[in-house]
Chain A
Amino acid sequence: KDQVFQPSTVASSEGAVVEIFCNHSVSNAYNFFWYLHFPGCAPRLLVKGSKPSQQGRYNMTYERFSSSLLILQVREADAAVYYCACRGSSNTGKLIFGQGTTLQVKP
């Protein structure tokens, strides 16, 4: 079964670099997608790709079956749910989402 795994909670202190890890069991998935979700808002894409990439304070690492989202200089306002996703193996456009990681930031 195609699945994406990520921790349910990660805690960090303000100003630190926080890492959220993700891995998957999807046989022919090559891209990772990282989304940010604040309650009451639409999830939005932070970074994606099949190689390491960076968008502002967000870095994405890449291995064939795993990826990490690194948030630099984390702030209290970054406290939210972060989703990792991979393309499904059926080539229909489906993304397989992990269960989401809640980031807690201590001042």
Chain B
Amino acid sequence: NAGVTQTPKFQVLKTGQSMTLQCAQDMNHEYMSWYRQDPGMGLRLIHYSVGAGITDQGEVPNGYNVSRSTTEDFPLRLLSAAPSQTSVYFCASSYGRGDSYEQYFGPGTRLTVT
């Protein structure tokens, strides 16, 4: 299993540009989520999904869109990048039920918005 994969690993955007961060998992996990990590702020939940076709907002959703058309993929779209979105972005997945709430993380995408 590849686990959770994210692309790209690094990205530089100019203010106003849009882009999509890709996330995929091959563990047949129902639950997927996106976090951003900023110094001193920990992991903050942006959006999450409990299955294909179902998404919901997390703690810091503004400026980001998500969709979940398949179980495997959960892309995160930045509509109009802003310097405040400079961060490291992590995707995670889990079975999300029973005793299997532990989340598996991807390696992260480091995004810089200038």
Contacts and interface: CB of A to CB of B under 8 A. Distances in A.
Contact of B48 (A94, A97, A99, A100): A94
Interface in A2-57: 8, 31, 33, 40-45, 48
A92 B90 contact: no
Given A94-B33, A99-B42, A42 B106 contact: yes
Interface residues of B, number: 28
B105 to A, nearest CB: 4
B48 A42 contact: no
Interface string B86-110: 0000100011110101111111100
Given A43-B43, A44-B105, A98-B42, A92 B96 contact: yes
Contact of A33 (B4, B31, B42, B102): B102
Contact of A42 (B30, B45, B107): B107
Contact of A92 (B48, B99, B102): B48
Interface of A, secondary structure class, is loop
Most buried by A among B95, B101, B102: B101
Given A42-B108, A93-B97, 18 more contacts: A40-B108, A42-B4, A42-B90, A43-B43, A43-B105, A44-B105, A45-B104, A87-B101, A92-B31, A92-B48, A93-B31, A93-B48, A93-B50, A94-B48, A95-B101, A97-B35, A97-B43, A99-B40
Interface of B: 4, 30-31, 33, 35, 40-43, 45, 48, 50, 56, 58, 90, 94-97, 99, 101-108
